[in-house]
Amino acid sequence: MAYQTKNPFDNSIVATFPECDAAALEARLAQAAACYEAWRTTGFAERSAVLARAAAILRERTDEFATLITLEMGKLIAQSRGEVALSAAILDYYAQHAERFLAPETLSVETGTAVVESAPIGVLFGVEPWNYPYYQIARFAAPNLMAGNVVMVKHASNVPQCALAFERLMQEAGAPAGAYTNLFISKDQVAQVIDDPRIRGVALTGSEAAGAVVAARAGHNLKKTTMELGGSDAFIVLKDADLERAVKSAVMGRMGNAGQACTASKRFIVVEALADRFLAQFQAAMAGFTPGDPMAKDTTLAPLSSEEALVNLLDQVERSVAHGARLVQGGARIDRPGAFMAPTILTDIDPANPAYKEEFFGPVALFFRVPDEEAAIALANDSPFGLGGSVFSTDIDRARRVASRIDTGMVFINRPASSSPDLPFGGIKNSGYGRELSGAGIQEFVNKKLIRVA
């Protein structure tokens, strides 16, 4: 597994980093385990100071951190700056609220006293993806460091400079050696780390396939896991929706991060009364993107993260059309250097088409027309995924009722999916289990210890 910066804008190789050898890996595991014994006893004020300083550094040097994101995975520079800001907000959020979230809970008992304390459990291992190189690790590291755990992270192989930048950030902020550890390791070493008795919990954000492998390995070792996997979020437009708002949100929901987000809007389910007008306006908006250097302010279409990602997505579209889908627009790479794909819309997708059940990780929208609200709900739920979703209606009570019937971890009304430190993030079905962010996220890897006095 090569850890390599390859600029997806021009496919140039910028830097390559060696994998960790066996001796170095053992040294880092030992350092993390030793750090835990001290970090677990530090007070909330000391932990909070580290995270608050890290957040301040991110804000002070936003462009420095954002440029690395754009260089390594191609995100538009404005969106990279937004990711840095969100990561800082997550660090600050847990610095400010962790002590309250983990406060002892006194139970009502007939005699004596009973208190539930929240104690750390040890060294945690995170396997993280490339699409949000700082945000993904901030939402794993921040709550767990504040809970008194220490974390080790195997980041994606195509964002090694972002991985190193975050590790240096934590060191500069005052985290002790071993509190946050970056690992450039192979797949075999990932299994070795999961097996190691010093690791007490495992978190993964990534694909279904990766989640299945990591969860199985951790389960074999009786270790707690959280899994944030793929999604094929439904974007439901009811007949009383504000059409202009729905179309604008649809474009934002599908094209943010070049469509490379687990919570991106992917299946656009529109009732018949608005279907033709929605599709015409959506098509026009999707055709208006300008490809170019993601560092440039006037570029609106970024490249995909890699040539491999582009080839895989093009193959997925080709298979969908071969199975009967109709290509409304796009469906091809853009004739220029870099991993650019034209914004694409597919429709006429029946349940036998592989596209019906798959996740498209890029600027490809699946359009479905349905006769009514009931059909929209049924189609939204007919998916192996259950991460996020959106419902558009001017009748908020109606939208709430529909949202309550969608089998998913998150539903947003009259807006595409979004993330905030104070909102729980996670899914069901093949989209995984467990929650990150908010008060829920800090509870995943703590021991809810009962102390009973008779």
The predicted-structure confidence for 293-349, as pLDDT tens digits, reads as follows 999 999 999 999 999 999 999 999 999 999 999 999 999 999 999 999 999 999 999
- Above 80 in pLDDT, residue 102? yes
Amino acid at 322: A
* Number of domains, the chain: 2
- Asked if residue 396 belongs to a domain, the reply is yes
Active-site position among 72, 83, 167, 228: 228
Same domain for 40 and 124? yes
Same domain for 440 and 345? no
Q: Provide the pLDDT for residue 191.
A: 98
Kindly state the tokens that stand for 91. 């660090």
Whichever domain contains 291, its CATH number is 3.40.309.10
- 3-state SS, residue 295: coil
Cα–Cα dist 369/275, whole Å: 6
Q: How many CB atoms lie within 10 A of CB 143?
A: 32
- Above 90 in pLDDT, residue 1? no
> Across the chain, what does the average pLDDT equal?
97
Same domain for 309 and 341? yes
- Asked if residue 304 belongs to a domain, the reply is yes
Kindly state the tokens that stand for 149. 């755990």
Kindly state the tokens that stand for 335. 């004739």
- Above 80 in pLDDT, residue 212? yes
- Above 90 in pLDDT, residue 17? yes
Same domain for 123 and 47? yes
Cα–Cα dist 77/244, whole Å: 27
Is 228 known to be catalytic? yes
Q: Provide the pLDDT for residue 108.
A: 96
The predicted-structure confidence for 262-280, as pLDDT tens digits, reads as follows 999 999 999 999 999 999 9
Active-site position among 262, 373, 436, 444: 262
Same domain for 242 and 353? yes
Kindly state the tokens that stand for 211. 């989640």
Same domain for 219 and 238? no
Same domain for 249 and 377? yes
Whichever domain contains 74, its CATH number is 3.40.605.10
Q: Provide the pLDDT for residue 181.
A: 98
Amino acid at 388: G
Query: Domain containing 330: what range?
Result: 233-421
Amino acid at 389: G
Relative to beta strand 364-370, strand 344-347 is: parallel
Same domain for 330 and 204? no
pTM over 0.85: yes
Same domain for 195 and 312? no
- Asked if residue 328 belongs to a domain, the reply is yes
Residue range 3-25: mean pLDDT, rounded: 96
- Asked if residue 400 belongs to a domain, the reply is yes
The predicted-structure confidence for 111-120, as pLDDT tens digits, reads as follows 999 999 999 9
Same domain for 238 and 387? yes
The predicted-structure confidence for 168-200, as pLDDT tens digits, reads as follows 999 999 999 999 999 999 999 999 999 999 999
* 378 Cβ neighbours under 8 A, 6+ residues apart: none
Q: Provide the pLDDT for residue 221.
A: 98
Identify whether the C-beta of residue 157 lies closer than 8 Å to the C-beta of residue 4: yes
Tokens 């690992």 identify what position?
A: 183
Residue range 61-65: mean pLDDT, rounded: 98
Same domain for 75 and 130? yes
- Asked if residue 371 belongs to a domain, the reply is yes
- Above 70 in pLDDT, residue 29? yes
Q: Provide the pLDDT for residue 68.
A: 98
Cα–Cα dist 10/306, whole Å: 10
Band of pLDDT at residue 2, cut at 50, 70 and 90: confident
- Asked if residue 140 belongs to a domain, the reply is yes
The predicted-structure confidence for 239-255, as pLDDT tens digits, reads as follows 999 999 999 999 999 99
Q: What is the DSSP string of 341-378?
A: B--EEEE---TTSGGGT----SSEEEEEEESSHHHHHH
Relative to beta strand 428-429, strand 385-386 is: antiparallel
Could you tell me the CA-to-CA distances from 31 to 34, 36, 333, 335, 377 in Å, in that order?
A: 5, 9, 47, 49, 51
Find, among 97, 102, 120, 93, the residue nearest to 39 by Cα: 120
Relative to beta strand 412-413, strand 3-7 is: unpaired
- Asked if residue 303 belongs to a domain, the reply is yes
Same domain for 216 and 200? yes
Band of pLDDT at residue 412, cut at 50, 70 and 90: very high
Is 46 known to be catalytic? no
- Asked if residue 426 belongs to a domain, the reply is no
